[in-house]
Amino acid sequence: MTKYYVGYVQGNEEYVYVAGIDNSNVRVSTIPEGAISFDKVELAKALLSLASNIVANQEYKVLEIKTEIKEVK
């Protein structure tokens, strides 16, 4: 399963992900489960544009996270 997120790398080399957005703030989460995710990269790019306009000094990027599920016997 592939999901697309918007986020950036912190100083400690860990990612944070956009969890919420309004007209003047971008909230972030340190875990993907608390973040906004999309099935299509185009939607993530639209969120990237919004976040970048609100917080111009932060270098947001679209992030692709793939989850693999296996049944263990």
Domain boundary assignment for the chain: 2-66
pLDDT tens digits for 20-65? 999 889 999 999 999 999 999 999 999 999 999 999 899 999 999 9
Predicted local confidence at residue 23, as pLDDT: 87
Per-residue pLDDT at 25: 93
Question: What is the SS3 assignment for 28?
Answer: strand
Rounded CA-CA distance 22/2 in Å is: 26
Name the pTM for this structure: 0.90
